[in-house]
Amino acid sequence: MVKTSQFIKKTFIFLNQHRKVLVSFLVFLLGFFIDVLTIRRIDSPFNLFQHGFYLLILGIFLVFEMRKQNLWKHHDLVVHFLFGSLLSLSTIFYYTSASLFSGLLFLLLLLGLMLANEIHQIRAYGLPVRVILFSVCSLLYFCFLYPIILGKIGVLPFWLGILTSVFILLILWFLNFKRKFKLDTKLLLLSLGVHALFVMAYYTALIPPVPMAIKKMGVYYGVEKKEDQYIGQYLNQDSYFFTKEFKTRPDDRIFILVSIFSPTHFRDQIHLKWYRYDDQKGKILEDNIPLNILGGRDEGFRGYASKQYYAEGKWEVFVETSDGRELGRLRFQVVKDSSLIEREFHEDIF
């Protein structure tokens, strides 16, 4: 009983000492769960309005902070909630569009920002950190909003997002510049530097191609369309999952069937790039097949490409957007099948 009472006492002391941090963490969790429960499609008017409204409220709160005022006694908690919600929304959206290979670094950055929003020592720097986080949230929002509005991705929607975010940042700065407590110029330049890094990440294909996302992708012996379904034919090879061996006979073709989500009224083009690995020459581009896609379907637009002439060895098919960013990739090894046993194909429905 004595040990139990001491444990309870120490627990209360600990909770009392760290109550601000714990409250902040609970507020963050609240924002995250609200996002999970209310999130719909990325082009949902509700989600777009919610995201934009959060940015607007956060901008208003930051203007008051710049003027050394608090809008409300729970000012800090509201700001903390909004940042947590915006970053978690962006992470969810960008995660669905990120290739495991090309988007990993970008996703780690977003997760790092979410954690930074939770670390008291970082938040203690106050306004500078919040302005930079606001710049990131603004960038992420407008860089997927314009592709949804214009119905395509590419250089124009991306730069419209960048310029809109810079414009909002300058509005905040000039609103505050006219006041006694102005935002330091170095902080403005640092925030603009965040935009410059974002531009570099775009042109090095590190930014996932939001709002597009691969729903499903596979390699098959044939593809057939029945009514509203695309059916891929495959062999029941338990070893394929581990070896990625695709066994072929002389008359076989190789089909890549893919399902890609994009918003309603979205019209764009993707490319299926077929690479073969040569022991001496390395990775060789064997084919580049374009597919025109039309958005709106929840399960994604279905399309496929096939190859009749191919060599044995390691292959990799990249799915890239019209502006050269990777949506996903598929690796397999073509192996000659000399068996004459009749094969039993199974169906994979898209």
Structural domain boundaries in the chain: 2-203, 213-349
Give the architecture (CATH level 2) of 213-349.
Sandwich (2.60)
Which residue carries 């004459």 as its tokens? Answer: 340
Q: Quote the pLDDT of residue 287.
A: 92
Which tens digit of pLDDT belongs to each residue from 212-254? 888 889 999 999 988 889 999 988 765 555 557 888 988 899 9
pTM equals 0.76
122 within 8 A of 116, measured Cβ to Cβ: yes
Instruction: Dump strand ranges (E) for the chain.
Output: 213-220, 222-226, 229-235, 245-248, 254-261, 267-278, 282-294, 301-307, 313-321, 326-336, 345-349
Region class of 116: left (phi > 0), else alpha (psi between -120 and 50), else beta: alpha
User: How do residues 113-171 score in pLDDT, each as one tens digit?
Assistant: 555 555 555 455 567 777 888 888 898 899 889 999 998 888 999 999 999 999 988 88
Q: Which of 77-81, 262-266, 280-284, 313-317 has the highest mean pLDDT?
A: 313-317
Residue 334, pLDDT above cutoff 60: yes
Q: Note the pLDDT of residue 4.
A: 54
**Strand pairing category for 267-278 and 282-294:** antiparallel
**What is the pLDDT, as a whole number, of residue 230?**
92
Give me the sheet containing 229-235, strands edge to edge.
Answer: 222-226, 229-235, 345-349
> Which residue from 160, 161, 156 is spatially nearest to 90, judged by alpha carbons?
161
In the sheet with 213-220, reading across from the earlier edge strand, the strands are: 213-220, 254-261, 301-307
Task: Work out the mean pLDDT of the chain and round it to a whole number.
Answer: 78
Provide the pLDDT for residue 87.
Answer: 74
Percent of the chain having pLDDT more than 70? 71
Averaged pLDDT, 24-52: 71
Q: Output 7 or 53, whichever has higher pLDDT.
A: 53
Q: Which of 5-14, 91-100, 321-330, 340-349 has the least mean pLDDT?
A: 5-14
